[in-house]
Amino acid sequence: MLVPVLSLLSLAGSFGRAVGDSNVTKLHLLGLFPMSGPWSGGKVCLLSSQLAAKHINANRDILPGYKIVIKALDTKCDGGTATDVMYREVYNSSTTEIMILGGGCSIATEPTAQASHHWNLLQLSYAASSPELSNRLMYPRFFRMTPTDSALNVVRLAVIKKFNWTKVATLHQSRDIFSLAVSDFQRDAQSSGIDILAAEIFVEDPAQQLKNIENVGARIIFGNFYSDKARRVFCEAYRRKMYGAQYVWIVPGWFEAGWWRTPDESITCTLDQMDEVTAYSFGVSAVGLPLAGKRKLSVAGLTTEKYLEALTTFAGDDADDVAKYTAKSWAYDSVWSIALALSEAESLLQSQDPPRTLGDFTFNDSMTADILFNIMSDLQFEGVSGPVQFDASGDRIGLLALYQIIDLQTVRVGIVDPTVGTGKELEMEGYSPIIWPDGAPPLDFTIEKKERLTITYSVFVTGTVFATMGIFLASCFLAFNIRYRNKRVIKMSSPNINNVMLIGGILAYVSIICQGVDTAIVSTDTFVWMCKVKTWLLAIGFSTAFGAMFSKTWRVHKIFTRKMTTKMVLRDTRLLSFVVVLIAVDVIILTLWNVIDPVTATENYRS
């Protein structure tokens, strides 16, 4: 059923309708609102519902002869409380409700929607988003004005596609409302070729789960939790530095305004730290109010600005709370949906033989319930929150939005309209531009670049040149010593010992060149042998050169410190034996080392 827009003149000119006339029949709606508890948006939603009822009751074109009355009950966002107050009202009230409006929390809506159909009551929730409520077998007469949380996966996947990400992680609170949606997201993501690097669940403390996400290197993180747990998650993310230019957080967008600044004794982060960690994070939610000029007039003849102005005035002392909750517009459209369905049902009932009216409804009237169900299933109109229609599961088919926190404000940066095109495209034109801390979207994963840790070519060449010069110079001295060994001056300087010293120096210089040879030049197996060779060359070269120099110095010492006048002869063979002993010690140690704990090569990479 497509409902035309009602003119503002009709709305404004009909406020004189005599609702107190005796001919007016009251149509009672049982309203379930979380006035207290973990989500206390019920007060604003009730005000918006009452405003809608006021507008409807004042309009001659909607339900003439009837007046909508909302009886509000506090569910405390609790399933047990919601069920209790509903049962008490149904069994003990002197009035017969014709439909149930609510609840606001999924946990309070599920048990009531599971039971309300037994009284032939349709139930329309303005804010419950649990995917569980899409089960028509368990909730046969249930509808909701907000899309299911699983429907928001369209936005999540659209964002992933928009920025070419292929690797993501998920983190959600251990509640069915979140578990079912995340399960659907993981299924849809994997079917689209997206890798789920980590899928973490937490009950109270998310520290270990965030550590796991950090360990796998995920950068794009989709969170699903209530706002109180969101503060814990982001405080822990601040402690682990999992925010900023390298990370993207995408969480529910239906949290109350400024949720991260709400005083919370369960976290240790300061307000400045929470501002820093949540900056540039994203939220996904159904659209509460379309931007001005983006949609046509609602069925009530109200623009976004006119609706907000009317609600703010109507709220009186509670006007400051109006901006905090997105669900207010859904509550307004929910009452209009009920009114439009009731209005068409009245026409159908009066065409029956014998004619009937809505005032004849009782809890045993399954025919009226069936008529209302069919009308609601086909309902289509433009609400203050955008186009309103329901799918076969009773879920709202409406606008979905992507938000970003910029300068402590939550701004809309794009929408997905399921009724246009493929219904999966993220439209960003005409909305606030996305701001990236680094000027561009981050990569979706820690890139590991395998890079060999080798000596740079310039250093190797420089070292080799100097070592070669040393070898050349030592070789020249060695050749000079051998060529002129019989010269008296050379002979008196112990040329044999000098030659041994030069040979040791040459071995040490060769080891320098071997030190620069790594896997950039030779294979890994050859490199292992080079490691052994350079160790042997350096050890034996040093022992040879130092041993020869020490033995030569020792001979001079013995000659000049000898007290006897007789000539003392210390032959080269005796001195060289000392060098041989040093070399033998090196050989023994190096041999044992290579046998017991041989040199091996391990590949070492840095990210």
Is there a domain that residue 389 lies in? no
| Per-residue pLDDT, 604 | 64
Is there a domain that residue 243 lies in? yes
Q: Tell me: do 284 and 180 sit in the same domain.
A: yes
Is there a domain that residue 566 lies in? yes
Convert the pLDDT of each residue in 306-333 to its tens digit: 999 999 999 988 888 888 788 899 999 9
Q: Average pLDDT of 37-65?
A: 91
| 138 token code pair | 């368990």
Q: Tell me: do 278 and 404 sit in the same domain.
A: yes
Range among 256-260, 332-336, 463-467 rated most confident: 332-336
Is there a domain that residue 162 lies in? yes
Number of domains in the chain: 3
pLDDT value at 239 more than 90:
yes
pLDDT value at 153 more than 80:
yes
Residue 369: give its domain's CATH number: 3.40.50.2300
Residues of the chain with pLDDT > 90: what percent?
Answer: 56
Is there a domain that residue 3 lies in? no
The DSSP annotation for 505-521 comes to HHHHHHHHHHHH--TTT
Q: Tell me: do 520 and 464 sit in the same domain.
A: yes
| Per-residue pLDDT, 19 | 41
pLDDT value at 2 more than 60:
no
Q: Tell me: do 570 and 468 sit in the same domain.
A: yes
Lowest mean pLDDT among 3-7, 88-92, 274-278: 3-7
Report the C-alpha gap between 247 and 219 in whole angstroms. 5
Q: Tell me: do 493 and 559 sit in the same domain.
A: yes
Last residue of a domain, one of 404, 421, 447: 447
Convert the pLDDT of each residue in 566-583 to its tens digit: 555 567 777 788 888 888
Is there a domain that residue 601 lies in? no
Report the C-alpha gap between 87 and 333 in whole angstroms. 26
Q: Tell me: do 283 and 415 sit in the same domain.
A: yes
Half-sphere exposure of 137 (CA within 13 A, CB side): 0
Of 232, 325, 245, 323, the closest CA to residue 281 belongs to 245
Better-scored residue on pLDDT, 475 or 485: 475
Residue 181 in contact with residue 395, Cβ under 8 Å? no
Print the SS3 string covering 529-587: HHHHHHHHHHHHHHHHHHHHHHHHHHHHHHHHHCCCCCCCCCCHHHHHHHHHHHHHHHH
Dihedral sign for Cα atoms in the order 103, 108, 114, 118: negative
Q: Tell me: do 68 and 216 sit in the same domain.
A: no
Q: Tell me: do 421 and 443 sit in the same domain.
A: yes
Q: Tell me: do 142 and 189 sit in the same domain.
A: no
CA distances to 68, 178, 399, 454, 524 from 457, rounded to whole Å, are 86, 56, 61, 9, 18
Lowest mean pLDDT among 338-347, 377-386, 589-598: 589-598
Better-scored residue on pLDDT, 489 or 581: 581
Better-scored residue on pLDDT, 386 or 564: 386
Convert the pLDDT of each residue in 428-465 to its tens digit: 988 999 999 999 999 988 766 777 777 888 888 898 89
Q: Tell me: do 406 and 273 sit in the same domain.
A: yes
| Domain range enclosing 317 | 8-146+297-384
In this prediction the pTM is: 0.68
Q: How many residues does the chain have?
A: 607
Q: Tell me: do 169 and 305 sit in the same domain.
A: no
34 three-state secondary structure: coil
Is there a domain that residue 1 lies in? no
Q: Tell me: do 122 and 142 sit in the same domain.
A: yes
